Structure 1
């Protein structure tokens, strides 16, 4: 299990904090009737806090089966929205929206749902509403990416959306860049959400509340 590169600065801060908690416990333990208990509690708090943050930045290896008909989940999480909407930023027409909510315990690596060329990219500063809020998709800090398949000319739009805890969205793509299905295109720190907009005639392969695995779960099949 690898640790994602975005985690190194945070883990350094957490390590210093954990050391401070443990050091404080040892320093003040002599003031209590049971100093060993206080020291043990301080160690447990420091270690548990470090492990919680460490697991958040885990980056497991993923084997992706390439298929131009498949739209794969861009993230680990749970499907919270499947609905027909009018996408107004790029398509200006109806699309099927699939939204995946990532809790703090999910892997937060974001992966390309299909292979192709990035035809559109834009970063939007914004609010930090809870990720499942109906207006999070349009009001929160977010990125919008559109990838076009060269062979079929099919375009899929997907968005990274910050949540109440997510205060930094990271992305590794730009317009004109070729991308491969399943490769990383970004990372969102702490709880967040990804929206995917597929054609209306695409077959939806997931249900509400279903859990997804980034790079592995097929969420839709193109006609």
Structure 2
């Protein structure tokens, strides 16, 4: 679907393509209902607008300093832990956060894997077993993990694609988590965030190599 249909000109923000399809059903229902049941029609219009607002896609200014790693998502750092010899940093995306995911580092996509699973709340410790999409860059890996309501993960890259740090790599609908398995040469002393910190995708520096 076109990124900028006619309605886009009246929106005060950009949205991802998928938003228009999801908002279409409540918008059409509102058009039918408004003349006969105005309160219901207004509620459906509000729902359509809410879907568009949820899928907003603002531009970001990514720092260009050498050796930095930026946040893959907007939200709150909910996971910082060692996994084998590497560090994992996870960002919980609340329903009010922007849900567009961005590459923490520049790299070439080696593999995009989908893994079915449960749908526990994304802030739950058991959510590691949830449905997820892994984008493998070789040096590091980005995991987009579905929440209890989020069942639509939309990667926008495929194997062979080269991406810059901070570039969009996909989005997910209605609450979830984005984790980055950091490169092996980054350790705890290189981290600049801890659990509970608020971050912005593509802008907040979460680690810095020596």
Sort the TM-score into its range (normalised by shorter chain).
Answer: 0.7 to 0.9
SS of the aligned residue for 1:51 comes to helix
> Structure 1 56/171 Cα, relative in aligned 2: closer, same or farther at 3 Å?
same
SS of the aligned residue for 1:3 comes to coil
Deviation at 1:146, TM superposition (A): 2.5
Contact 2:23 2:49 in 1 (8 A): no
TM-score by length of 1: 0.80
**Greater C-alpha radius of gyration:** 1
> Structure 1 175/71 Cα, relative in aligned 2: closer, same or farther at 3 Å?
same
Contact 1:55 1:105 in 2 (8 A): no
Unaligned 5+ segments in structure 1 are 26-38, 87-92, 149-154
Mapped partners of 2:115, 2:65: distance in 1: 31
Deviation at 1:205, TM superposition (A): 1.0
Mapped partners of 1:79, 1:125: distance in 2: 24
Contact 2:89 2:181 in 1 (8 A): yes
The yes-or-no answer on 1:167 pairing with 2:151 is: yes
Unaligned 5+ segments in structure 2 are 1-12
| Equivalent in the alignment of 2:26 | 14
CA RMSD of aligned residues (A): 1.9
Mapped partners of 2:42, 2:156: distance in 1: 37
SS of the aligned residue for 1:59 comes to coil
> Structure 1 23/208 Cα, relative in aligned 2: closer, same or farther at 3 Å?
farther
SS of the aligned residue for 1:78 comes to strand
* Count of aligned residue pairs for this structure pair: 195
Mapped partners of 1:160, 1:109: distance in 2: 11
The yes-or-no answer on 1:60 pairing with 2:41 is: no
Contact 1:114 1:147 in 2 (8 A): no
Structure 1, residues 54-104: CA drift from partner, whole Å, max 9, x if none?
Answer: 2101111112223341110111111111122x2xxxxxx322111101112
